[in-house]
Amino acid sequence: MDRFVSVDEFQEEAFKLLPKNALDYYKSGAGRQETLRNNRSAFSKFKIRPKCLRDVSKTDLSATVLGEKVSIPVGISPSAMQRMAHPDGECASARAAQGMGTIFILSTIATSSIEEVAEAAPEAIKWFQLYIYKDRHVTRSLVKRAEDAGFKALVLTVDTPMFGLRLADIKNKFQLPSHLKLANFQGKYALTANKVGKNTGSAMNDLGALFDASLTWDDIRWLKSITKLPIVLKGILTADDAISAADAGASAVMVSNHGARQVDGWPASIEALPEITKAVGHRLEVYVDGGFSDGTDIFKALGLGARMVFLGRPVLWGLACGGEEGVKKILTILKIEFEYALAISGCSQISDIKPSMVVHESYYARL
């Protein structure tokens, strides 16, 4: 692992290490995977306009997110079933976030429970990703457990009335390996992903059928009524929905296309980001995930108005290659790359990144 100097090298090694069932689950997107590819390639459409002769002898990468100071504007997005990548799973990722002074978001569909993660990384800033289920008692129980365990925010995924069709999972008849479990769903609210799915063959589509597909914006107000935690809405891709999120009382939105795993043909997250920050950046905090793999990607997102960037798959590649230390190295690589991009572009701190410094490539075509 010491020889790896980029996220891409971690990905290449993880592809060799992970079993096919797990690898295909982690890496695949919906349909023909055009959006999955675009999540990465779309970054090249945005260009950095640097400023020269600025004093960058000292740099500060810190940011404030929902009132908490983080050392870098890069956190860990919710990714399901991390013990398929490493025996320590989500606990290792949370410890890595703790060690790097940043945010860890735990997936509802995790292989480590809320309580296990809280014990493993007591000092980490932890948020809990949530779906609203047809059985609202399940949702209430999860919210209370997250509150009791010291989680600082709820991240409600709003782009998933059901799970999308991921062809690799259907072909593989994906199911969670028998030695693992959905750790947040044991006892009274037991759920499993260890059986072949009934409709598509993938166990994930069966799990998705438990989500409440009748949700409306009124249900955001219901969620606010049962918790005092700030609510982040994850999966926003349009200005209209971002405005509705602000009107419903969300504290933040995360621009995300769910890792391109829901419907092929959606925009890349970085493409959707500018209209959302323009529409609601003055009303609530805006974060983004999807396709980030280099420090310049982070610079571009902040220039387009995001306050924080979150990583999904790169964390899994680090986890597969080296557990907690692998995730730390992923975060460290991106931290160094971002710091260099920041300083060489003429900025000593995040507030120095002005909107005029990141433009779409069409800017140059008009000159």
Helix (H) or strand (E) holding 254: strand 252-255
Q: Show the CA angle centred on residue 12, arms to residues 76 and 344, nearest 5°.
A: 60
For residue 364 the two structure tokens come to 């140059």
Q: Which residue from 302, 315, 291, 292 is spatially nearest to 345, judged by alpha carbons?
A: 302
**Which residues pair with residue 360 across a beta bridge?**
46
> Between β-strands 358-360 and 46-48, what pairing exists: parallel, antiparallel or unpaired?
antiparallel
Residue 16, both tokens: 């060799």
Residue closest to 124 by CA, chosen among 93, 103, 139: 103
Furthest CA-CA distance within the chain: 64
The residues, any chain, with a CB within 8 Å of residue 188's CB and separated by 6 or more, are: none
Instruction: Decide if 360 is catalytic.
Output: no
Residue 122 corresponds to which tokens in the numbers above?
């007591």
Separation of alpha carbons 34 and 325, rounded Å = 32
Q: How far apart are CA 339 and CA 61, in angstroms?
A: 7
3-state SS assignment for residue 211: strand
Count of Cβ atoms closer than 10 Å to residue 365 Cβ: 7
Length of the chain (residues): 367
Of the listed 86, 137, 179, 258, which one is catalytic? Answer: 258
Cα 112 to Cα 94: distance, rounded to the nearest angstrom: 11
**CA angle (182, 183, 185) in 5-degree steps:** 75
Is residue 276 a contact partner of residue 307, using CB atoms and an 8 Å limit? no
d(CA 191, CA 131) in angstroms, rounded, equals: 14
Specify the amino acid at residue 178. S
Catalytic site positions: 258
